[in-house]
Amino acid sequence: MRVALVAATIAFASVVIAQDDAITSASRALSASNLQAIEYSATGTRFAIGQAPAPGEGWPAFRLTKYSAAVNYDALAAREELTYVDDSNPPVGGGAGPFIAATGQGGIRPIPGEVRQNQLRDGRTEAGLLQMVMTPQGFLKLAATNNASTRMVDVRGRKVRTIVFTAGGRPFTGSLNEQNLLDRVETRLPNPILGDMPVEVTFSDYRDVAGLKFPMHIVQRQGGHPTLDLVVNNVQPNSAAARQVAAPPPRPAAAPEKVGSEKIADGLWFLTGGAPLSLLVEFKDYLVIIEAPQNDEHTEGVLAEVKRLVPNKPVRYVVNTHLHFDHSGGLRGFVAEGMTIITHEKNKGYLERILRNSFTLAPDHLARANRRPAIETVGDKRVITDGTRSLELYHLKGNLHEVTLLMAYLPKERLLIQADAFHPRPGAAPLPAPSPFTTNLVENVDRLKLNVDQVVHIHGGVDPYSAVLKAAGRS
């Protein structure tokens, strides 16, 4: 089974234990004040945020075959390594690539907040803040240096002591149990789609390990769904490996991206810069953009390049192939400019709801514009035409990558535009069996009797349709 090993390194804030009685008491219970570094390993499950098989459903799960983390509180850094496989057969949703279970593609676990790991005004990153509170001792160290206060709150008829503070402009609340052990941390971090996204970490099954208490079960949730479920099997306080973890240089704050263009055919361009990409389709009196990926900054770059390419035509529509976060993270920027979204009919209610979410932590263009979205839908088919050029939108019925997945077709050019149903892998060994996502794509092309010569991939590249047929076992 094919797996991939990845690592993420993030920066922390300065750590000094304060003398507040409640924090001191909790720190004493967890032996936090004497802890300079920690290393721990686990098994469990990783979930791919923003890659649900249907709008509003939970993130797809992948079995962790390895998980290790090393936190260096003195050096203000942490390192996370994980290996995971997709045991689902057939695979459902995104996050592991559109391959069958036997390939077991791995990848990096998205950390809450924007994937860019925005640098905050105090020099930290949102990812760093979250990794700090992935250990209870780290939460207490962060609380001690950020003017934390304590209060008693009523939780389902039970009085619970909480520790509350703000770090990097983000709110944090930790709940203590009767033994003064931290059992829950709650915060909100900005996400390009969900806005002020709720994040929760729970700790349970505390055990004594070399003079301190550490939870053997850690669960993280983002956007209301689990993203990481760890069963800890080894803990090494102040290990040499953890002490050697170094912080990376801080990343710059998000800025408008430089987006380029690449002509595919007359009136059809890739809008380049990262992946996935957008495509620009020119009509007689207006323009259509297919896909709004990544984030607000990318959308700003896309619109600037569109204006440079075709300065005298307005963008009438932006087509959303599906709501996976990497493909829809830039939608809000188009809404802010008054452009109409076209998406599958099953997405409309969910999209309207999340477009109303609060964006107070990192206000984007739509939050400042306060504009209501215009959303039009596709059932099985929709045609956009000016009488000369036609763009046909079709629902990929039965595709398990995402139940609302759309593809686009230019009949005059015999070009099919697809997202995530087929991923060419140049130089890679052939897969042991066809991906069900790709076989479904071919089945839908057959069902619709489309005459396809070439396939344009929203993740980049153009291939003859014969390459798709070969990948689907039709050659």
**Which of the pair, 117 or 267, is modelled with greater confidence?**
267
User: C-alpha dihedral over 315, 317, 319, 323, to 10 degrees?
Assistant: 100
Q: Write the DSSP symbol of residue 48.
A: -
Q: Residues, the chain, total?
A: 475
Stated pTM of the model: 0.88
Task: Give kind and range of the element (H or E) at residue 46.
Answer: strand 37-47
Q: Which two tokens stand for residue 351?
A: 């999209």
- For residue 343, list its beta bridge partners: 377
Which of the four pLDDT bands, split at 50, 70 and 90, describes residue 151?
confident
Is the model's pLDDT at 231 over the cut of 90? Answer: yes
Structure confidence at residue 249 (pLDDT): 66
Torsions phi, psi for 439 (to 5 deg): -60, -35
Structure confidence at residue 3 (pLDDT): 39
- Rounded distance between C-alpha atoms, residue 217 and residue 226, angstroms: 13
**Which of the pair, 219 or 107, is modelled with greater confidence?**
219
Q: Which domains does the chain have, with CATH numbers?
A: 4-243 (no CATH), 260-471 (3.60.15.10)
Q: Residues 154-193: pLDDT tens digits?
A: 777 778 889 999 987 889 999 999 899 999 999 998 899 9
Which of the four pLDDT bands, split at 50, 70 and 90, describes residue 440?
very high
- Rounded distance between C-alpha atoms, residue 324 and residue 243, angstroms: 38
* Share of residues in the chain with pLDDT > 70 (%): 84
Is the model's pLDDT at 224 over the cut of 90? Answer: yes
Q: Which two tokens stand for residue 142?
A: 């962060």
Q: Residues 94-114: pLDDT tens digits?
A: 876 433 344 334 333 333 322
Rounded to the nearest 5 degrees, what angle is found at the Cα of 407, between the Cα atoms of 448 and 453?
A: 65
Structure confidence at residue 99 (pLDDT): 37
For residue 106, give Cα distances in angstroms to 82, 193, 245. Answer: 9, 24, 23
Is the model's pLDDT at 18 over the cut of 70? Answer: no
- Rounded distance between C-alpha atoms, residue 130 and residue 113, angstroms: 9
Is it true that the peptide bond before 192 is cis, omega within 30 degrees of 0?
Answer: no
- Rounded distance between C-alpha atoms, residue 425 and residue 97, angstroms: 11
